[in-house]
Structure 1
Amino acid sequence: MRKLGIIGGASWSSTAMYYDQINRAVAQRLGGLHSARLVIESLDFEADYASFHRSGDWAGADRVIAGAAARLKAAGAEGLLLASNTMHKNVEAVRAAVDLPIVDIREITAERLKADGRSRIALLGTRFTMTEAWARGPYEERGIVIQELNAEWRAEVDRIIYEELAGGRVVRDSQRKLKTLITELQKQKVQAVVLACTELVMAVDVRANVLPVYDTTAIHARAAMEWMLADEEQARAAA
């Protein structure tokens, strides 16, 4: 089994979901008492990352994330996972710092949508993932149209993430608001909603909405398991 390095803590609540889901997926695939070989660098979200969001100092964020990647490589990681959609804004800094494969949440989710025949979607996430080219590009490159949210909805989704979910708080009123948003998107002929923030699944029931909802945390965790066990699968196929 390959050892995966996870840059987490952005936020701790979603990193805990990754740890749980990756281990469960490995145990389900291999059986017995098997678990995932992981090394985790957990950031202090406020000091190490969110403060750079507010100041716009993305070069500073690049240095923090690249440093975490280097420490994971030194600890024996053979590949990396950035346990946050927004953290993929820093992915090029990681690639420049370490020569390791990255399990990219954007590419994996976009491929899943394409395979499912989804051609018009909505991205829900931080203000960065909803509007910036680094987040939207992998979808648009596959011919997927992204429905624009109005400024009020973008601000509210961003607020729910930073003021509530990133701190582990789920507020009932915010759950209702997100359900209302998804209902509005269905009326705009959107075919699917992508939870392009790893905490949003805490507030959105992926099984009880008027549109298909793609949980990027679950999709990413599953892809991580597949990458970790790829050598075993190849050996089994060759036997």
Structure 2
Amino acid sequence: MKTLGMIGGTSWYSTVEYYSSINKKVAEEIGSQGNPPLIIHSLNIELMREQNWEKINAKYLETSQKLEEAGAEAIIICANTPHNVYDYVHDKISIPILHIADATGKRAQQLGLEKLGLLGNKPTMTGSFIANRLKNNFQIETIIPDDQFIDQAHHYVSKELTQGTFSDDALHFFKEQIEQLVQNGADGIILGCTELPILFKDHKMDVPLLATTDLHVNMAVDFILDR
């Protein structure tokens, strides 16, 4: 198996989900007698809350270099928003970073989806790191909720979901956003926050929900098992 470096901590709930899921899925392939070689560096979530991207870029580069020096053969960033650092970091190290949008785009293509609604926190929805990669690499359009709803979505993600709180109010809010995105032409919805699939785990929607964490984990397992 190949050794995977994991950058986590933003949030640690997300990191636990990645670690657990990667181990479980690898065990399904090799049996429970073994587990994959993983190197984890967990950052302080306050780094992301400052939204100082010069500082964030520098920290993620430093961490990526340390993981490479420690023997990682690829890196996975265990959350959506920190993928903003990808363009800054990936050319400065000699091992690949497994991009969350690539995992999402491949699944969308398999399902024949062409226009995806994107839900997550404000930096994820308004940033270009998912939308541009989906457009350039997969010819998939991305749309987001109206401006008046983005701040409320960010509140639920940053103040509740990443803190382990999954309220009925949040579920109702995001269901309404999905319905609106579908009305605006989305034929699939990206759950662009590790905690959103947890919020929706017992609820079905009439549109495909692409849980970026699950798809990203599958990409990680494929890498670890060299397939």
Same fold (TM over 0.5): yes
Checking the alignment, whether the CA contact within 8 Å between 2:10 and 2:45 is kept in structure 1 is: yes
Q: Which residue of 1 aligns with 2:127?
A: 132
TM-score w.r.t. length of structure 1: 0.89
Residue 222 in 1 paired to residue 218 in 2? yes
Equivalent residue for 1:158?
A: 154
Aligned to 1:2: 2
Compute the displacement of 1:207 (Å): 5.5
Q: C-alpha distance in 1, partners of 2:32/2:144? A: 46
What residue in structure 1 maps to residue 106 of structure 2?
A: 111
- Which residues in structure 2 correspond to 1:92-103 (within 5 Å)? 92-103=87-98
**Is the 2:23–2:36 contact (alpha carbons within 8 Å) kept by the matching residues of 1?**
yes
Q: Is the 8 A contact 1:206 1:213 kept in 2?
A: no
What CA deviation, in whole Å up to 9, does each residue of 1:192-234 have, x standing for no partner?
A: 100112222222237511211000000001110000111xx5x
Aligned residue number for residue 84 of structure 1: 79
Bigger Cα Rg: 1
Quote the residue 2:28 is aligned against.
28
- Which residue pairs with 1:236 in the alignment? none
| Greater Cα shift, 60-69 or 142-151 | 142-151
Structure 1 unaligned regions, length at least 5:
234-239
Quick check: 1:186–1:210 contact (8 Å CA) kept in 2?
A: no
Contact 1:129 1:136 (8 Å CA) reproduced = no
User: How many pairs were matched up?
Assistant: 226
**Structure 2 gaps, min length 5:** none
1-structure distance, mates of 2:211, 2:74: 22
Could you tell me whether the CA contact under 8 Å between 1:6 and 1:83 is conserved in 2? yes
Q: Distance in 2 between matches of 1:105 and 1:184?
A: 24
> Do the aligned partners of 2:121 and 2:154 also contact (CA within 8 Å) in 1?
yes
TM-score (norm 2): 0.93
Query: Given residue 44 of structure 2, which amino acid in structure 1 is its aligned partner?
Result: D
Deviation at residue 106 of structure 1 after TM alignment: 0.8
C-alpha contact (below 8 Å) 2:144/2:181 kept by paired residues: no
Q: Is the 8 A contact 1:2 1:229 kept in 2?
A: yes
Structure-2 change in CA distance of 1:204 and 1:73 (3 Å): same
Q: 1:132: Cα distance to partner? A: 2.3
**Secondary structure at the counterpart of residue 130 of structure 2:** helix
